[in-house]
Amino acid sequence: MVFKADVKAEDLSWSRRGGDLVATLDASGETLSI
């Protein structure tokens, strides 16, 4: 994954949902499932 330059690793939370890995952008709550 490639994020904008202003998104830092500490801005993301990681979790599992079933068989998916979920990245959540803490500031907005937006998610990306892999």
- Chain Cα centroid distance, residue 33: 8
pLDDT tens by residue, the chain, 34 residues: 888 899 999 999 999 999 999 999 999 999 999 9
pTM score, whole prediction: 0.77
Cα four-point dihedral sign 7, 31, 1, 13: positive
Q: Give one DSSP letter per residue of 1-29, joined into a string.
A: ----TT--GGGEEEEEETTEEEEEETTT-
